[in-house]
Amino acid sequence: MSSNQHGAPAFLRIDLAAVAANYSIIKNKVGPDCVVAGVIKADAYGLGMAKIWTALENAGCPFYFVATPDEAFALRHLTQKPIAVFGGVFRGAEEDFVRHNIIPVLNTMDDMERWRDAARTREVSLPAILHFDTGMNRLGFTSLPDNIDDKNLDIKIVMSHFACADEKGHPLTAQQFSRFQTIATHFPHAQKSIAGSSGVFRSASYACDMVRPGLALYGLNPTPEVKNPMRPVVSLSARILQVKKIPAGETVGYGASFRADKEINVATVALGYADGILRSLSNKGALYYEGQACPVIGRISMDAVTVDMGTHMPASGTMLEVIGPHQSADDLAESAGTIGYEILTSLGARYHRVYTG
């Protein structure tokens, strides 16, 4: 992360007030009887765990999910509220989980047995979340585990995860929910949770007792077929390093993958795949100058993107919009043939980060 704005090639602005507003949008959507947990794994989707946690904490977030034990231990320095780890408890990490009061999401019988053993050794009942695979075919139990009434396991939450909730009307979503409801009857005293960001907006019944939004908190669209209901969180702009006029017939960039069919003004912009601007954007997508789309031409390189400036010849140092009013992170992802998650989590460390709100 650049500490000197004058030496920074690009600026990443993160609106913490928008994060808090997005949390409130989801809270209002699910109502007062549903817990809205904050998913802040992967350094809060690349935006900075500590800063995002502050915004969520100020919005009243009561519960947090991360992906790995190391993320949980780092977060524990910030809060005493419940923290759960999606990836379970790694072998040998049981003592650290107990000491830091981290709740594992148990995905396998091996997870469960080791967590039971940790509880029996201490002669206590340890909190846990049981994850059931209802159709994702990734993590989770595929059937009821043995001895679910073991007094050493305090099963706080029973959860599953939708595979296709971002696709409106996908039949698997309803099938998964039906399977989850059947499983949930075996755990009358545990909270139930299946919906992430997209599930929140598909059906009120999917909210259950807890929802676990991630992408929606960060301004990505949980309902891609309609206008984004969330407030934008991220904006990104980058400096022009040089603009030059090239004649018809000349090529641009590695591999000479772009050839000009007329005289054009080419700007070289100070960001590249080292900064999370995916190489798949080569000869696709655009950056924006004064609201005008400037097509990406040539290959994305490690430190540079080249764009066609049309008739414009802005001075070196002029900023171009990468993500902002004219192009969301989801728009950029579509041009790259990927999803907004990958754009946010790929954003590099060389940006000068500015937190507002």
Return the CATH number of the domain spanning residue range 34-218: 3.20.20.10
Beta strand segments in the chain, E: 10-15, 35-36, 38-39, 64-66, 83-85, 103-106, 126-131, 153-159, 191-193, 210-211, 234-246, 251-252, 258-259, 264-269, 286-289, 292-295, 305-308, 319-323, 352-356
Residue of 151, 244, 245, 254 marked catalytic: 254
Catalytic residue among 41, 218, 341, 351: 41
Domain extent listing, the chain: 34-218, 234-356
User: In angstroms, rounded to a whole number, what is the distance separating the alpha carbons of residues 210 and 87?
Assistant: 19
How high is the pLDDT of residue 148?
Answer: 78
pLDDT of residue 2: 47
**pLDDT score recorded for residue 1:** 52
Is there a contact between 309 and 48 (Cβ–Cβ < 8 Å)? no
Active site residue 41: yes
Q: What is the CATH number of domain 234-356?
A: 2.40.37.10
Enter the tokens of residue 45. Answer: 């989707």
Q: Where are the beta strands (DSSP E) in 47-143?
A: 64-66, 83-85, 103-106, 126-131
User: According to the model, what pLDDT value does residue 53 have?
Assistant: 98
254 is catalytic: yes
pLDDT at res. 4: 61
- pLDDT, tens digit (0-9, with 9 covering 90-100), for 204-260: 999 999 999 999 999 999 999 999 999 999 999 999 999 999 999 999 999 999 999
Q: With a cut of 50, list the residues of the chain below it in pLDDT.
A: 2
